[in-house]
């Protein structure tokens, strides 16, 4: 039985789901971001218990086909931007269509209708959030961040960063450093 779980977007949430399944003594074969394959067929009371357990951690068991599809799109993007070391696919629209077995125009229109933003803008927002994380961690320079996030150049990353945040990456990093220094003097 395949279940789709809304907001399961990090490895921490995977651990929460794993723990909930183990506490209910359920056996699962696959546990990915947003999805879990359970070996047993769950009864209505078991589904209700699992849904309530997940909800306490901010997770939601999805049953509606459109909601499931939106969640799958989000999880593919989050996995690609935040966790994948693989180079990006050449044509994301083709990749998404093949992975989900739907026409990209349908996926795009559904996503825009439900989320109020395009798939492209959702990807950009996550890439910029990832860039901010990497800037805060201070382990990579801007060139390395641009490469990691598959921008064609530092200029492209900087332009997109400023368009989304209103700040340059360098200024963002300076602000973070000033904030840290201010906290150290408390």
Q: What pLDDT is stored for residue 51 in this prediction? A: 92
Q: What pLDDT is stored for residue 108 in this prediction? A: 96
Q: What pLDDT is stored for residue 46 in this prediction? A: 92
Burial letters 114-135, b for 16+ CB under 10 A, else e: eeeeebeebbbebbbebbbebb
Low-confidence ranges of the chain (pLDDT < 50): 180-186
* pTM, 2 dp: 0.73
* Dihedral pair phi/psi, residue 86, rounded to 5°: -70, 150
C-alpha distance across the termini of the chain, in Å: 53
pLDDT tens column, 132-149: 999 988 888 999 999 999
Q: What pLDDT is stored for residue 166 in this prediction? A: 94
Q: What pLDDT is stored for residue 180 in this prediction? A: 46
Return the DSSP state at 153. Answer: -
Q: What pLDDT is stored for residue 130 in this prediction? A: 93
Q: What pLDDT is stored for residue 89 in this prediction? A: 64
Residue with tokens 């996926």: 107
Whole-angstrom Cα distance, residue 49 to residue 38?
15
Q: What pLDDT is stored for residue 11 in this prediction? A: 82
Q: Go through the domains of the chain in sequence order and give each one's CATH number.
A: 1-63 (3.30.70.100), 124-184 (1.10.10.60)
């Amino acid at each position: 039985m395949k279940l789709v779980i809304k907001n399961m977007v990090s490895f921490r949430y995977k651990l929460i789901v794993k723990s909930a399944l183990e506490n209910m003594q359920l056996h699962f074969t696959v546990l990915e971001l947003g999805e879990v394959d359970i070996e047993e067929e769950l009864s209505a009371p078991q589904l209700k218990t699992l849904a309530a357990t997940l909800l306490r951690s901010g997770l939601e068991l999805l049953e509606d086909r459109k909601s499931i599809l939106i969640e799958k799109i989000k999880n593919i993007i989050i996995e690609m931007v935040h966790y994948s070391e693989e180079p990006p696919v050449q044509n994301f629209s083709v990749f998404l269509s093949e992975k989900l077995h739907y026409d990209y125009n349908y996926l795009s229109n559904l996503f825009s209708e439900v989320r109020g933003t395009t798939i492209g803008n959702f990807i950009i927002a996550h890439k910029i959030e990832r860039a901010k994380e990497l800037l805060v961690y201070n382990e990579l320079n801007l060139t390395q961040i641009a490469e990691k996030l598959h921008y064609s150049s530092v200029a492209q990353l900087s332009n997109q960063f400023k368009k989304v945040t209103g700040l340059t990456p360098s200024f963002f990093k300076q602000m973070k450093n000033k904030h840290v220094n201010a906290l150290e003097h408390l």
